Structure formats: structure tokens, C-alpha cells
Structure 1
Amino acid sequence: MSGTKKLVFPSWADWMLTWGRFLKAYKAVVERVDKRMRAGSQLTLAEFELLFIVNDGGGRIRFIDLAKITLLSQSRISRQIDSLQARGFLIREITNSDRRATFAVLTPAGKAAFDEAEQPFLDGYYNEFRNLIPQEDLEAFRRVLGILLQETDYPRRAMELLDTAFEQNSTGGRALVGRKPSEKRAAHKKGAAKA
């Protein structure tokens, strides 16, 4: 450790008012949204997030891409897929063309569970998170989250992964769910601009 600057423990105010609040706010928001999810659907918030991503990918996405989008390890993704598969919401698919790639595929029961959970999620999202952030602070909040994530291109990369999955599913003769994610986002922005 020679030549390394010795770090100093943060002040009580910095610890409690910055670090402590960040940890507690994240935990509190996630728990409150998850509670609303469990009360109004058969999914947890974590399960809803996975089904949301698979759904946005056209109903089928590679495990590795799920891991990249969620920032979870592939083993953690695999465990969550096991749980959702046991409940009939997702199935694993290994293709003959690439035995190394494993896909998560949304089942009709999974799509129904996702659809059922959408309103409880939105209720929690708006009431426990989004509506609590003043509009004038929203851009600063997003900027700080981007700094903390340390991946300025994360939203773009995640959208590219979802678009790629959607395109691959559309050429594979699969019945797709919804529209290409980037097209949905563009339509949403266009609608928001008119409002």
C-alpha cells in the first residue's frame, strides 16, 4: 500500500445524509413497490422486471443479455428463471444451432401474469417513486444515477440488446409480443411531446 493515499472515513453527516439515505431510500422504495406488487399480482418486483425484459425482447431473450440488462450474474438470472419456470411463466430453450446459448421464453401463463402485474407495478412506480421526485429535480436525479452507475451508455446498450432480441425473434417465425422496444420508446416520446 506504499504510495497509496490513505482514505478517511466520511463525516457523520456525509455517512448518514448521503450514503445512509441512498441505501435506505433504495431499500424503502423497492420494498414498498414490491409490497404493492405482491398484494395485486402473483409476481414480485424482481420477477416482474425479468418478465418485462423478456416481454420487451419479443417473448424470448438470451440469459447473457438478461444478465447484461439487469446487471445480475448469470447464475442469479438462472436461479430466478428456475423459479419462474417452476411456476410455468418462463421456459428455458437451448437451440440446436448454438448449444452454448440458453434463452428465456415467455409462456402464455407468464404473459398473463405479466399483464396482471402491470397495473400494480405502475401503481407502485408512480406512488412510491416517480411522483415523489419533483419535476424540476428529475433531470438532476437522472444525471446522478448515471454517474453512480458509471455506465453512461447503459440505456442505449440495454435498448440495443432488446431490439436485437426482438429482431431475432421476428425472423425466427415466432409470435411476437408487442412492438420493437426502440419503436415503443420513440412513439412514447412523440406522444409525450404532443401532450
Structure 2
Amino acid sequence: MTPRKVRGTSPKQQWLTPRQQRAWVAFMRVQLRMSYEMNRQLQADSGLSLSDYDVLVALSGDRDEGMRISDLAAQIGWERSRLSHQLRRMEERGLTERRTGAGDGRTTNVVLTPNGRRAIEDAAPGHVDLVRSLFFEPLPESLLTPFTAALEHIEVHLNHNSSLPPAPS
């Protein structure tokens, strides 16, 4: 791993400790492999990419008015330009559409179309089966609670200390 000077650290604190390095490499391997497997499964079963699925999941709540583009970008952890390109592709396929915000004509909301709602409903069962079999089945039940707490703790820190705006509540 390339050393990176972190704000407020001394030169002695630049490198990860062996335990940190082991945890980081394990996280990256799992994250990359899970992304690959989820993308492969979604493409094969439903013709959706993992990026499509990320957007559809974020929009699939009880949001008839949709979500502001900036809130959607923050929620899924993408830059607005990446989201804009993704939305264009999804709009061309009839999965989403953009609408002027109801309360504020200066904002743009993204909503699921009926095709988009059907797509997420059709894709979800296979996706859940894959996540359960590859992620949760090998995880001992005794580790689920501390693992979840650790991830949530990191997420809170990221929401307050990263370059992307915080995810909406």
C-alpha cells in the first residue's frame, strides 16, 4: 500500500500497522469480490448492473415524489457527475425519470417508473439469495452484531469526515 500522509499525523504514523493492513486487505478483497459477484448475478438474472441496482434500491422506498439528485448521490456515495451519467442510461431504458421538485422548482428529483419498480422487485429475490449465501452464511452468528456495529461506526465517521456530503437521514 502506498503511504499517504494523513492530516494531523506524524511521519511515524503514516503506515498501517500489520493488524490494520491485514484488516484493510481483507475488507478490500471481500468488497471487490462481492461487487463482482453481485454485478455478475444481477446481469445474468435481470439484465441490471450493480450500479442500476444501487440506484433502484435507493429510490424504491415510499418516495412517490422521488429523491433530489444531490441526496441520491450522497446516499449511494457517488459523485453527482457519475450519477448523472447513470441516470441518463437508466432513463433511456425506462427505469427512472427526472422531475422538477414539487416544493422547489429549482431542484430536480429522480423517481422510479413502473418499469423501474418492476425491475427492482424482480431482481431483489436473486440478489438476496446471493448475498445470503456468499456473505451471511459464512459469517458466524456471534460475529454479526460486532461486525455490524463496526461498519455502522465507520459509516458515521465517513458521513462526517469525507469529501462527499453526508447521506440524508
Shorter chain as denominator, the TM-score bin is 0.7 to 0.9
Q: Give the aligned CA root-mean-square deviation in angstroms.
A: 2.8
Which of 25, 36, 45 aligns to 1:20? It is 25
Please list every run of 5 or more consecutive structure 1 residues that lacks an aligned counterpart in the other structure: 162-195
AA partner of residue 32 (structure 1): E
* Counterparts in 2 of 1:115 and 1:4: CA distance versus 1, 3 Å: closer
Corresponding residue SS for 2:137: helix
* Moved beyond 4 Å, runs of 4+: 11-14
Which of 38, 44, 54 aligns to 2:43? It is 38
Map 1:81-100 → 2, pairs under 5 A: 81-95=87-101, 98-100=104-106
In the superposition, the TM-score normalised over structure 2's length comes to 0.78
Q: In structure 2, what is the Cα distance between the partners aligned to 1:137 and 1:102?
A: 42
Q: Report what 2:123 is aligned to.
A: 117
Corresponding residue SS for 2:15: coil
8 Å CA contact retained: 2:68, 2:101: no
In the superposition, the TM-score normalised over structure 1's length comes to 0.69
Q: In structure 2, what is the Cα distance between the partners aligned to 1:41 and 1:143?
A: 32
Deviation at 1:153? 8.5
Which stretch of the first structure deviates more once superposed, 109-118 or 82-91?
A: 109-118
AA partner of residue 135 (structure 2): F
Deviation at 1:96? 6.9
Q: In structure 1, what is the Cα distance between the partners aligned to 2:62 and 2:82?
A: 19
8 Å CA contact retained: 1:37, 1:124: no
Corresponding residue SS for 1:78: helix
* Counterparts in 2 of 1:97 and 1:141: CA distance versus 1, 3 Å: closer
Normalized per residue, which structure has more helix? Answer: 1
Question: Paired residues, what number?
Answer: 156
* Counterparts in 2 of 1:152 and 1:139: CA distance versus 1, 3 Å: farther
Q: In structure 2, what is the Cα distance between the partners aligned to 1:8 and 1:89?
A: 45
Q: In structure 1, what is the Cα distance between the partners aligned to 2:155 and 2:103?
A: 35
Structure 1 residues 14-38: Cα deviation after superposition (integer angstroms, max 9, x where no partner): 42x2221111111011211221111
Map 1:21-170 → 2, pairs under 5 A: 21-59=26-64, 60-95=66-101, 98-151=104-157, 161=169
Deviation at 1:142? 0.9
Structure 1 residues 119-148: Cα deviation after superposition (integer angstroms, max 9, x where no partner): 121122211212222111001101221232
Please list every run of 5 or more consecutive structure 2 residues that lacks an aligned counterpart in the other structure: 161-165
